[in-house]
């Protein structure tokens, strides 16, 4: 009954349209009243939830990504991607995917990726004869890579939701190959579609232009070297590397690219504050919610429940994937990570799944949820930029869902895809 009070009241509060962050807090209060836990304890946990130094990596990564995205980085990465793939049939669609891969090295947000890459690529693709719906689908699906490719602030959220016991450096490294496999599966689909529908090739970029284009993109791509190099060498913590990346991103966009206008800085900070404060409130209240889940032994009960369904690790992972795909259609990535990780992680660990590997499964799975109706923030942004309706896009998304689910299956059932790179770390 007590589990029903916590999870049931949360579901009802969400269903009536209450913001998820506050619904987590209120459900925790209802549960605390039911099991007679002092409300002071819940308040203490909520305050604990927002005063962890490791949390600061989230606003820094969001800020660095926003500075780069608005400072002209997206255009430079698209130009770099054109050097490598524009001359192939369906070249602009492939450029779109590769630019998202590169953009993922700077921003961990699929919405930011869709807004930055999509606003350049969708009109270009439409001009070259690609249907707008196809261009939008390539953009929104390609943007999901950003969630896995380091630096991903979602990896930081997962680490925190797991109790801060999982190294952010391991999670960052673990995301590299899942991100690339995701990109490859989309690339395969795009190549097949381009040949079937006869989409155009672009002119190859003249060799004399290549050094300038590479150098232009180089300054931005150094950000990932600062972040990963700093963390892996032990010079920085993840939080410090993210802060240094913010300062570097600002210097590059203002003094090297010179695309950024000082007068736009307050607007940029305004937008970042809105994004970050929303996530931080979610985290704060989810810690209170997680505290009540722990008191009610929900993770242990979830483990016992799954053990009644199966004793096979692979069947369990399939069940969890289906569950997350369904839940992901209704809720955004960050709250799902914060709510589901404390419940599901103990279950999969009991079955012998590595927590780092499970992090990649969750992020990829819930990332797909960002482009599924009825709640798909990336889908909404893509439709707005592509000037197409959600119905038009949804009808043609099925082959893309197939390609993404193939990548999800590979990431789920081949743990080495996620775990090989982190295994090279000596700490």
CB of 55 to other proteins, least distance (A): 7
In the complex with other proteins, the residue whose CB is nearer, 270 or 426, is: 270
Question: What is the rounded distance in angstroms from the CA atom of residue 280 to the CA atom of residue 371?
Answer: 23
Whether the CB-CB separation of 21 and 46 falls below 8 Å is answered with no
Q: Which residues bind other proteins (CB under 8 A)?
A: 13-23, 25-26, 29, 39-40, 42-44, 46-47, 50-53, 55-56, 59-60, 63, 70, 235-236, 239-240, 243-244, 246-247, 259, 261, 263-264, 266-278, 280-282, 284, 330-332, 334-335, 374-375
Nearest to 181 by CA among 362, 410, 416: 410
Compare residues 150 and 335 and give the one whose CB is closer to other proteins.
335
CB-wise, 106 or 176, nearer to other proteins? 106
Return d(Cα 117, Cα 140) in angstroms, integer.
9
**What does the block give as tokens for 266?**
């307050």
Cβ distance to other proteins smaller for residue 20 or 356: 20
- Dihedrals φ, ψ of 375, to 5°? -115, 95
Say whether the peptide bond before residue 257 is cis (omega within 30 degrees of 0): no
Measured from the CB atom, the residue of 236 and 400 that comes closer to other proteins is 236
CB of 419 to other proteins, least distance (A): 30
Phi first, then psi, for residue 88 (nearest 5°) are: -85, 155
CA dihedral (380, 382, 385, 388) positive or negative: negative
Shortest separation between residue 39's beta carbon and other proteins, angstroms: 6
Quote the least distance from Cβ 51 to other proteins, whole Å: 5
Rounded to a whole number of angstroms, the minimum distance from the CB of residue 20 to other proteins is 5
Shortest reach from residue 47's CB to other proteins, in Å: 5
Position of tokens 């000082």? 262
Closest approach of Cβ 277 to other proteins, in Å?
3
**Nearest to other proteins of 135, 276 (CB atom):** 276
Q: Which is nearer to other proteins, 30 or 84 (CB)?
A: 30
CB of 160 to other proteins, least distance (A): 13
φ, ψ of residue 305 in degrees (nearest 5):
-65, -50
Q: Of 144, 29, 71, whose CA–CA distance to 382 is shortest?
A: 144
Closer residue to other proteins, CB minimum distance, 158 or 177: 158
Residue among 45 and 357 whose Cβ is closer to other proteins: 45
Rounded to whole angstroms, the Cα distance separating 375 from 328 reads 8
Q: What sections of 35-161 are H helices per DSSP?
A: 39-49, 57-70, 73-85, 91-104, 110-127, 132-142, 153-161
Q: Is the dihedral of CA 325, 329, 334, 337 positive or negative?
A: negative
Q: How far is the CB of 142 from other proteins (least distance, A)?
A: 22
State the burial class of residue 166 (Cβ atoms within 10 Å of its Cβ: 0-12, 13-18, 19+). buried
DSSP assignment of 245-281, as one string?
HHHHHHHIIIIII----GGGHHHHHHHHHHHHHHHHH
């Amino acid at each position: 009954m007590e589990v029903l009070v916590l999870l049931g009241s949360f579901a009802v509060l969400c269903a009536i349209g209450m913001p998820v962050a506050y619904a987590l807090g209120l459900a925790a209060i209802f549960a605390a009243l039911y099991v007679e836990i002092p409300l002071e304890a819940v308040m203490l946990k909520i305050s604990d939830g927002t005063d962890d130094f490791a949390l600061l990596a989230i606003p820094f990564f969001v800020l660095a990504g926003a500075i780069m995205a608005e400072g002209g980085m997206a255009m430079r990465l698209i130009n770099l991607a054109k050097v490598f793939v524009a001359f192939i049939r369906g070249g602009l669609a492939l450029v779109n995917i590769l630019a998202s891969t590169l953009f993922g090295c700077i921003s961990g947000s699929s919405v930011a990726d869709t807004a930055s890459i999509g606003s350049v690529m969708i009109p270009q693709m439409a001009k070259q004869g690609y249907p707008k719906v196809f261009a939008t689908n390539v953009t929104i699906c390609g943007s999901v890579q950003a969630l896995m490719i380091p630096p991903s602030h979602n990896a930081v959220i997962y680490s925190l939701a797991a109790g801060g016991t999982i190294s952010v450096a391991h999670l960052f490294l673990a995301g590299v190959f899942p991100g690339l496999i995701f990109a490859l599966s989309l690339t395969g689909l795009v190549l097949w579609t381009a040949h079937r529908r006869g989409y155009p090739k672009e002119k190859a970029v003249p060799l004399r232009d290549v050094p300038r284009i590479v150098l232009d993109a180089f300054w931005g791509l150094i950000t990932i070297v600062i972040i990963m190099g700093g963390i892996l060498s032990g010079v920085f913590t993840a939080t410090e590397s993210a802060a240094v990346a913010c300062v570097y991103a600002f210097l590059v966009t203002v003094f090297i690219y010179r695309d950024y206008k000082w007068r736009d800085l307050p607007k940029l900070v305004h937008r970042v504050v809105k994004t970050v404060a929303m996530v931080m409130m979610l985290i704060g209240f989810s810690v209170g919610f997680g505290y009540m889940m722990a008191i009610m032994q929900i993770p242990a009960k979830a483990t016992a429940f799954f053990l009644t369904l199966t004793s096979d690790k692979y069947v369990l992972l399939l069940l969890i994937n289906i569950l997350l795909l369904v839940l992901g259609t209704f809720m955004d990535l960050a709250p799902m990570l914060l709510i589901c990780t404390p419940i599901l992680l103990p279950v999969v660990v009991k079955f012998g799944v590595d927590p780092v590997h499970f992090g990649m499964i969750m992020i990829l799975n819930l990332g797909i949820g960002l482009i599924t109706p009825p709640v798909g923030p990336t889908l909404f942004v893509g439709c707005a930029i592509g000037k197409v309706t959600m119905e038009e896009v949804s009808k043609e998304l099925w082959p893309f869902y197939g390609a993404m689910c193939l990548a999800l299956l590979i990431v789920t059932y081949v743990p080495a895809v996620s775990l090989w790179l982190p295994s090279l770390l000596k700490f």
